Structure 1
Amino acid sequence: MAKQQQIKPNRMELLKLRKRLKIARRGHKLLKDKQDKLIQELMALTKEERKLRVETEDSFKHCLGLFAMTEAEMPTSSFDSIVQFPTLSTDIEMSSQQILNLKVPKFHLETDEDNPFDYGFASTPADLDLAVSQTKEALKRLVVLSEKEKAITLLAYEIETTRRRVNVLEFMLIPQLEESERDIMMKLALAEMENTSRLQRVKEIIRQH
């Protein structure tokens, strides 16, 4: 049972209590709706993340396969000299986006050049060109995957915070206010009955005299 508040049993306090109860119920509904929408967003985002994770893992596996084929087709020293010093520089630009009222980060992969090939095409197999270019695309998928995972983490935290607020309103504050309302109404009814009984006794005394 919710702990009853110590409130004076008069009509003014009853009006204040009913106003608080109305606000609490409205807040509970808004928070519950927010929680439901956040869960929907989380489920959709999780579905996207799972699909993207599989695609990203497959992309890197394919790239590693291409590099392995290239290494088998080239002298070890030549292959090592090419992959030892990568020429493609990357940077991550971060902005933000809104999911409902929650701000989540958005990542964008920036490269300093469009052509990552810094070696002679005549002395290298075509698989190397494909491996380098597909690695660049795999990195883009990895950045988007990181963005999705961060958004999922923030959404999950926001859902948990919202759920706690909903529970406080639903199982503590609202029952407490409702119990206080019933208590005041009962005491006011008893006071009204006592006043009526007292008036009747006064009338009876006056009638007898």
Structure 2
Amino acid sequence: MAATHVNPTRMELTRLKKKLITATRGHKLLKDKRDELMRQFLDLVRENKALRERVEQGIASANKNFVLARAGMSNEVLNVALMAPKQEVYLETEARNVMSVEIPVFEYKTRTSDANDIYSYGFAFTSSDLDGAVKSLADILPDMLRLAECEKSCQLMAAEIEKTRRRVNALEHVMIPEMQENIKYITMKLDENERSTQIRLMKVKDMMLEQAHHYSQRNS
């Protein structure tokens, strides 16, 4: 048992009591952090699910329109139409601290503000299905970026939750019980030593009284 390796002194007892107070406070803070991380993690998971459904629906719609456009246009016309895009997208990444977890934040901006610049071709020789496919992809771009944020944030939060959970369990099931056991052991040892000291003092007192009594009898 760990208590047998502890030096049973009052200084060690005071140190362990202070350490126990700190560990108890740390345990509470870590539990609060874990609970808050779990709450935000579940919110992100729900948002992630809704975003994924919208993104998959948008991609499916875009693919359907591309298939229809390919069926109504030759490969050469389709390739020329998409060869030189007019619009450009610039992606900026930042980080936001959430409960000591650095989660990514994506922001994007386009080269021009004209919504029609997503079409890099004229409308005379192209199919309207191609317009629908390009529009579908442009519309789901914000959701795709937010989905990437959510999925990465979920991964990072899950790792932090697991790490925090292990720390909470280590404090709750190992460190705090061990310190409590050591404090109990030292307290028992100190009480035992104090009782032994009192017994010795009482014996010394009795011996001194007995010697004084014999001395007084010899002098009388």
TM-score, shorter chain, exceeding 0.5: yes
Residues 53-92 of structure 1 mapped to structure 2, 5 A cutoff: 53-92=52-91
Specify the alignment match of 1:196 in structure 2. Answer: 198
**Which structure would you say has the larger RCO, counting Cα contacts within 8 Å and 6 or more residues apart?**
1
Unmatched 5+ residue regions in structure 1?
Answer: none
Unmatched 5+ residue regions in structure 2?
Answer: 214-220
Deviations 1:72-116 (A, max 9, x none): 333443233213444433332101122223221111233323311
Q: Of 181, 197, 213, which residue of structure 2 is paired with 1:179?
A: 181
Q: SS of 1:162's equivalent?
A: helix
Structure with the bigger percentage of helix: 2
Residues 20-59 of structure 1 mapped to structure 2, 5 A cutoff: 20-59=19-58
- Contact conserved, 1:97 with 1:104, CA < 8 A, in 2? yes
Specify the alignment match of 2:106 in structure 1. Answer: 107
Specify the alignment match of 2:146 in structure 1. Answer: 144
- Which has the higher mean CA deviation after the structures are superposed, 12-21 or 83-92? 83-92
Q: For this pair of structures, how many residues does the alignment match? A: 208
1:127 is aligned to 2:116 = no
Q: Aligned pair in 2 of structure 1 residues 198, 59: CA closer, same or farther (>3 Å)?
A: same
Instruction: Specify the code of the residue in structure 1 equivalent to 2:118.
Output: P
- Contact conserved, 2:85 with 2:119, CA < 8 A, in 1? no
Deviations 1:177-204 (A, max 9, x none): 1111011101111111111211222232
Specify the alignment match of 2:170 in structure 1. Answer: 168
CA shift, 1:154, in A, is 0.6
CA shift, 1:68, in A, is 2.1
| Backbone CA RMSD of aligned residues | 2.0
Specify the alignment match of 1:96 in structure 2. Answer: 95
* TM-score, normalization by structure 1: 0.89
Specify the alignment match of 1:153 in structure 2. Answer: 155
Q: Which has the larger radius of gyration?
A: 2
- Which has the higher mean CA deviation after the structures are superposed, 70-79 or 88-97? 70-79
Deviations 1:11-39 (A, max 9, x none): 22211110011101111111111111111
- Contact conserved, 1:49 with 1:148, CA < 8 A, in 2? yes
Measure the CA separation in 1 of the matches of 2:127 and 2:9: 91
* TM-score, normalization by structure 2: 0.85
